[in-house]
Amino acid sequence: MNVGDLDLNLLRVFDAVLQERSVTAAAARMGLTQPAVSNALARLRVMFGDPLFVRTAAGMDATPFARELAQPVRQALALLESALAHGPGFDPATSTRTFRFYMSDVGQVEFLPPLVERTQRDAAGVRLEAMGLDVEDLGAALAAGSLDVAVGFLPGLGAPVKRQALFRDPYACLMRADHPAAQGPLTRKKFIEASHALVSYRGGHRVIEEALDRAGLARHIALRVPHFTVMPMVLERSDLLLTLPGRVARVYERRGNLTSRPLPIPIPPAEVAVHWHERFEADAGNRWLRALIVELFGS
């Protein structure tokens, strides 16, 4: 097909249906009628020669061709939206710009509440969107402008991605408050003899798994999960220990039923930073967001 024949609004419909998995929800999100969205999908299907979406019990499921289109279309729309939103200056008090950022689930536990609170106070029209991307895709998303910043311990990101350090976070061991290992100091012997939970995801805190392996604890890992968020509920109802960043451990401790201890095995602290692509170094809105993150979370 000729790209010159493609209406940009059709791509917006495609992206909305892809994210919402529903024609009705996509129409509501875009402020359109359901027949208008259905008509736009029909035009796209003819232009691409592909059904694009198939109705299932779980919603509109993308075809393999649509899944291939998804990321390029989303990046193109985000880059265009970003370009149109970038004027010669940026006034947070009047801006309606959408900022897209990456934080892991454990990062969102710590960073998102104060970030949303400050944004609502100082930039009420600004919209924030946390993106669920694989760590391996962050560099490309930052370069394309579909992601404004990435916050966290992300040692795999290098030039042309730039970074500003926020803090160094020593790891800690979290457990239920009445855990036998919580009675007195957490010794190496107690730590090694206990059963452990491990949060294991690609590009994440691999140093934890590597340290546990070095300590000979591979056979003591009783639970592996891909996210940190469920772990407080698990720890409260088990004898498992969890190694995690210390600042997040303190957030979880405030639940009242958990306690943390310094690790009895060596793990270098996590170097947490805010990352952005050099293409957007001078962008006023990006600079504002970076400065806000540094103000809120920098040591």
What is the predicted pLDDT for the residue at 202? 56
CATH number of 93-160+277-297: 3.40.190.10
Top CATH class, 3-84: mainly alpha
Strands 270-277 and 161-169: antiparallel
Contact assessment for residue 154 and residue 273, using Cβ atoms and an 8 Å cutoff: yes
Reading the chain (299 residues) residue by residue, the pLDDT tens digits are 555 566 778 888 888 898 888 999 888 888 889 898 999 899 889 888 899 999 888 888 999 998 888 888 877 777 676 666 555 567 899 888 889 999 887 778 788 999 999 999 999 999 998 887 778 888 888 887 888 999 988 888 888 899 999 999 899 999 999 999 888 889 999 998 889 998 876 555 577 878 888 888 878 889 988 888 888 999 999 999 999 888 888 888 887 789 999 999 888 888 889 999 988 888 888 999 999 999 999 87
pLDDT confidence of residue 196: 92
Domain boundaries, the chain: 3-84, 93-160+277-297, 171-268
**Kind and range of the H or E element at 53?**
strand 53-56
For residue 188, with 0-12 CB atoms within 10 Å meaning exposed, 13-18 middle and 19 or more buried, which class applies? exposed
Give the model's pLDDT for residue 11: 86
Q: Is residue 253 within 8 Å of residue 260, measured between CB atoms? A: yes
For the entire predicted model, the pTM comes to 0.64
Report the Cα 105 to chain-centroid distance in Å: 6
Q: What's domain 171-268's superfamily in CATH?
A: Periplasmic binding protein-like II (3.40.190.10)
Instruction: Tell me the two tokens of residue 111.
Output: 């960073």
Q: How far is CA 193 from the centre of its chain?
A: 34
Q: What is the rounded CA–CA span in Å between residue 225 and residue 238?
A: 15
Judge whether 3-84 and 93-160+277-297 match in fold.
no
